[in-house]
Structure 1
Amino acid sequence: MEFDVVIVGAGSAGLSAACRLMQQANEAEQELSVCVVEKGSEVGAHILSGAVFEPRALQELFPDWEERGAPLTTPATRDELYLLKDAEKAQKLPSALVPKSMHNTGGDSTRYVISAGNLTRWLGEQAESLGVEIFPGFAAQEVIIEDEVVRGILIGDMGVAADGTPKDGYMPGMELRAKYTLFAEGSRGHLGKRLINDFALDAGCDPQHYGIGLKELWDVPADKHEPGLVLHGSGWPLDSNTHGGWFLYHAENHQVVLGLIMDLSYQNPWLSPFDEFQRMKHHPVISQHLDSGKRVAYGARSITKGGFNCLPKMTFAGGLLIGCDAGTLNFSKIKGLHTAMKSGLVAAESVFEALKAGDEGGQELTSFTEKWEASWAYAELKESASFGPAIHKYGTIGGGAYNFVDQLLGGKLPNVHDTTTDHGKLKPADQFDKIDYPKPDGKLSFDKSSSVFLSNANHEEDQPCHLRLADPELPIRDNLPKYAEPAQRYCPAGVYEVIEDDEGNPKFQINFQNCVHCKTCDIKDPAQNITWVAPEGGGGPNYPNM
Structure 2
Amino acid sequence: MNSEAGAFAMETIHFDLIVVGGGAAGLAAACHAQICAKRAGKVLSIGLLEKGAQIGSHILSGALLDTRILQQLLASATENIPQPKTALPVHSPVVTEELWLLQERQAHSLPLGKRWQHGHCHILSLGELCRWLAEWAEELGIEILTGFAAVAPLWDGKRLLGVQSGEQGRNRAGARKANYQPAVALLAPVTIIAEGCRGQISGQIYQHLGTNSAREDLRRPSPQRYALGIKELWETDSTLSGQVLHTLGWPLRGVHGGGFLYHPRPHRTALGMVIDLGYRDPGFDPFVAVQKWKTHPLIQPHLHKARLLGYGARTLTVGGWQSLSLLSLAGGLLVGDSAGLLNTATLQGIHNALASGMLAAETAWQAIATDDFSASFLQRYAQAVRRSPWGQELYQVRNVRPVFRHGLRRGLLNAAWEYATKGKSPWSWRWQMRDRQTLQEAQASAQTAEILEAPRTPSLCAGAGVIADRQQALSCSGLYYEADQPLHLQLEDPQLPVQTEGRRFGNPELRYCPAGVYALRHRPDGKIFLHIHADHCLHCKCCDIKDPLDNIRWTAPEGGSGPNYPDL
- Indicate whether 1:76 and 2:94 are aligned: yes
1:41 and 1:361 mapped to 2: Cα distance?
A: 34
Kindly indicate whether the alpha-carbon contact (under 8 Å) linking 2:152 and 2:204 is maintained by their aligned counterparts in 1.
Answer: no
Partner of 1:395: 407
2:375 and 2:186 mapped to 1: Cα distance?
A: 14
Q: Which amino acid aligns with 1:249?
A: Y
Partner SS for 1:353 = helix
Partner SS for 1:472 = coil
Kindly indicate whether the alpha-carbon contact (under 8 Å) linking 1:49 and 1:116 is maintained by their aligned counterparts in 2.
Answer: yes
Could you report, residue by residue, the CA deviation over 1:170-216 in whole angstroms, capped at 9, with x for unpaired residues?
11111000101111111111111121222234532411111100000
Partner of 1:421: 434
Kindly indicate whether the alpha-carbon contact (under 8 Å) linking 2:102 and 2:249 is maintained by their aligned counterparts in 1.
Answer: yes
Could you report, residue by residue, the CA deviation over 1:363-389 in whole angstroms, capped at 9, with x for unpaired residues?
751221222222122111111111111
Kindly indicate whether the alpha-carbon contact (under 8 Å) linking 2:331 and 2:373 is maintained by their aligned counterparts in 1.
Answer: no
Partner SS for 1:387 = coil
Kindly indicate whether the alpha-carbon contact (under 8 Å) linking 1:101 and 1:333 is maintained by their aligned counterparts in 2.
Answer: no
2:227 and 2:157 mapped to 1: Cα distance?
A: 36
Q: TM-score, normalised by structure 2?
A: 0.91
1:200 to 197, 210, 225: 210
Q: 1:68 to 1:397 in 2, by over 3 A?
A: farther
Partner of 1:348: 361
- Which has the larger displacement, 225-234 or 203-212? 203-212
Partner SS for 1:62 = helix
Partner of 1:486: 508
Offset at 1:21?
0.4
1:478 and 1:102 mapped to 2: Cα distance?
A: 46
Partner of 2:171: 161
Partner of 2:538: 516
Offset at 1:31?
2.7
Partner SS for 1:301 = strand
Kindly indicate whether the alpha-carbon contact (under 8 Å) linking 1:43 and 1:136 is maintained by their aligned counterparts in 2.
Answer: yes
Q: Which amino acid aligns with 1:99?
A: G
1:283 and 1:172 mapped to 2: Cα distance?
A: 52
Kindly indicate whether the alpha-carbon contact (under 8 Å) linking 1:179 and 1:361 is maintained by their aligned counterparts in 2.
Answer: no
Could you report, residue by residue, the CA deviation over 1:214-241 in whole angstroms, capped at 9, with x for unpaired residues?
00001111xx3310000001100010x2
1:311 to 313, 324, 335: 324
2:23 and 2:429 mapped to 1: Cα distance?
A: 31
Partner of 2:74: 62
Partner SS for 2:401 = helix
1:174 and 1:325 mapped to 2: Cα distance?
A: 23
Could you report, residue by residue, the CA deviation over 1:287-338 in whole angstroms, capped at 9, with x for unpaired residues?
1100211111000000111111111121111101111011100021121000
Partner SS for 1:74 = coil
2:556 and 2:40 mapped to 1: Cα distance?
A: 37
Partner of 2:132: 122
Partner of 1:91: 108
Offset at 1:359?
3.3
Q: 1:305 to 1:362 in 2, by over 3 A?
A: closer
- Indicate whether 1:301 and 2:319 are aligned: no
Partner of 2:19: 7
Q: 1:52 to 1:478 in 2, by over 3 A?
A: farther
Kindly indicate whether the alpha-carbon contact (under 8 Å) linking 2:26 and 2:357 is maintained by their aligned counterparts in 1.
Answer: yes
Q: 1:308 to 1:360 in 2, by over 3 A?
A: closer
Q: 1:338 to 1:204 in 2, by over 3 A?
A: same
Partner of 2:453: 437
Q: Which amino acid aligns with 1:216?
A: E
Partner of 2:232: 216
Q: Which amino acid aligns with 2:317?
A: T
- Which has the larger displacement, 192-201 or 345-354? 192-201
Q: Which runs of 5+ in 1 are unaligned?
A: none
1:198 and 1:69 mapped to 2: Cα distance?
A: 43
Q: Which amino acid aligns with 1:28?
A: A
Offset at 1:100?
3.6
Offset at 1:479?
5.3
Kindly indicate whether the alpha-carbon contact (under 8 Å) linking 1:98 and 1:404 is maintained by their aligned counterparts in 2.
Answer: no
Partner SS for 2:39 = helix
Partner of 2:255: 242
Q: 1:389 to 1:101 in 2, by over 3 A?
A: farther
Offset at 1:417?
1.5
Partner of 2:31: 19
Q: 1:395 to 1:225 in 2, by over 3 A?
A: farther
2:295 and 2:501 mapped to 1: Cα distance?
A: 32
Partner SS for 1:247 = strand
Offset at 1:66?
9.5
- Percent of paired sites with the same residue: 37
Q: Which amino acid aligns with 1:166?
A: R
- Indicate whether 1:150 and 2:160 are aligned: yes
Aligned residues: 534
1:154 and 1:410 mapped to 2: Cα distance?
A: 44
Q: Which amino acid aligns with 1:54?
A: D
1:379 to 377, 385, 392: 392
Offset at 1:38?
0.3
Offset at 1:89?
1.2
Kindly indicate whether the alpha-carbon contact (under 8 Å) linking 1:315 and 1:364 is maintained by their aligned counterparts in 2.
Answer: no
Q: Which runs of 5+ in 2 are unaligned?
A: 1-12, 78-82, 214-218, 460-464
2:342 and 2:498 mapped to 1: Cα distance?
A: 36
Partner of 1:184: 194
Could you report, residue by residue, the CA deviation over 1:324-363 in whole angstroms, capped at 9, with x for unpaired residues?
0111000211210000111111100001011112336787
1:250 and 1:214 mapped to 2: Cα distance?
A: 17
1:438 and 1:444 mapped to 2: Cα distance?
A: 10
- RMSD of aligned C-alpha atoms? 1.7
1:220 and 1:248 mapped to 2: Cα distance?
A: 13
Q: Which amino acid aligns with 2:519?
A: E
Kindly indicate whether the alpha-carbon contact (under 8 Å) linking 1:205 and 1:311 is maintained by their aligned counterparts in 2.
Answer: no
Partner SS for 1:295 = strand
- Indicate whether 1:461 and 2:483 are aligned: yes
Partner SS for 1:251 = strand
Offset at 1:437?
1.0
2:165 and 2:377 mapped to 1: Cα distance?
A: 24
Offset at 1:494?
1.1
- Indicate whether 1:543 and 2:565 are aligned: yes
1:403 and 1:251 mapped to 2: Cα distance?
A: 28
- Indicate whether 1:42 and 2:54 are aligned: yes
Q: TM-score, normalised by structure 1?
A: 0.95
Partner of 1:407: 419
Offset at 1:37?
0.3
1:533 and 1:175 mapped to 2: Cα distance?
A: 18
1:165 and 1:429 mapped to 2: Cα distance?
A: 40
1:136 and 1:180 mapped to 2: Cα distance?
A: 20
